[in-house]
Amino acid sequence: MSKWIIQGLRTGVKSTRYPRRPEEAAGVTPGLPAAESRWPSPSGAEGAALSCPVGALETSGTRLTADPRRCIHCLRCASGPNPVPWEGGYEWARRTGPADSPLFDRGFDHSLHIRVVDAGACDACLSEIKQLNKPYYNMHRLGLFLTPTPRHADVLLVAGPMTQAMRMPLLKAYEAMPTPRRVMAVGTCALTGCLFGPSFASAGGVGSVLPVDVEVPGCPPPPLAILHGLLLLSSRVKKSDEARETLGEAAP
């Protein structure tokens, strides 16, 4: 037994300093195509937009905009003959409700209990959520806890394209939660259905079943993006739009 204690002590602190300080380690995020880029010609922009298999890139003239809600990090636009510029960063979470209203009435800006529901996720999103509970991200230090029962949960964290078979369990979990309660959709599948929906088997996003308060794009969203979403929920970080403007300083 003692050897484990010694081993644990010798390992030291591995946790990221985020949100106090931006995380600068390599490989913590796949990045996203630049939200907006200028192209020399409209045809060049259109050619770049066509390289996206999920229609996340849109053009208006020489301007190319990227919709993070649709992007699945297939890297195809980045590897073509005219690559679209990519940005790092991970503060991608966005609120869907009115911008100025607090997400929780009061007293919810500290600790949150989270019930994770898998609504057909590919396991990568769940794996990244699990990372939050592990030493490198260690969300306990921020007062964020996973709970096995929705009875104790403040936040329902849903991943996956919302398969039809999981609709009823998800609704039951939502019903079982005490109010005030919030729903957070994690991953491109949960936002738009991505490659899987809407179809006969999935509803194409959590929003068609439950009111979503915070969306975290990404396929899968890196742990720091999910953490950002949770902090946003408890009003502990700035709104994502502002955050995104300061991405240059925040991320490598």
Which window, 36-44, 93-101, 127-135, 232-240, contacts other proteins (CB under 8 A)? 127-135
Q: Are 112 and 145 in contact (CB under 8 A)?
A: yes
The count of other CB atoms within 10 Å of the CB of residue 21 is 9
List of residues 6+ apart from 30 with CB closer than 8 A: 73, 218, 222
Which window, 41-49, 165-173, 224-232, 239-247, contacts other proteins (CB under 8 A)? 165-173
Q: Are 153 and 113 in contact (CB under 8 A)?
A: yes
Which neighbouring-strand residues pair with 95? 214
Q: Does 85 engage in binding with other proteins (CB under 8 A)?
A: no
The minimum distance between CB 245 and other proteins, in angstroms, equals: 24
Q: Does 146 engage in binding with other proteins (CB under 8 A)?
A: yes
DSSP 120-149: S--SHHHHHHHHHTSTTT-GGGGTEEE-S-
Q: Does 76 engage in binding with other proteins (CB under 8 A)?
A: yes
Q: Does 118 engage in binding with other proteins (CB under 8 A)?
A: yes
Among 40, 179, 248, 249, binds other proteins (CB under 8 A): 179
Q: Does 103 engage in binding with other proteins (CB under 8 A)?
A: no
DSSP annotation of 98? -
Binding track over 15-44 against other proteins, x by CB under 8 A: ----------xxxxxxx-------------
Give the integer Cα–Cα distance in Å for 50 and 17.
Answer: 39
Q: Does 195 engage in binding with other proteins (CB under 8 A)?
A: yes
Q: Does 163 engage in binding with other proteins (CB under 8 A)?
A: yes
For other proteins, the closer CB: 95 or 204:
204
Sheet holding 63-66, edge to edge: 36-38, 63-66, 57-60
Among 48, 56, 129, 144, binds other proteins (CB under 8 A): 129
Which window, 63-71, 219-227, 229-237, 242-250, contacts other proteins (CB under 8 A)? 219-227
Q: Could you tell me the two tokens for 94?
A: 């966005």
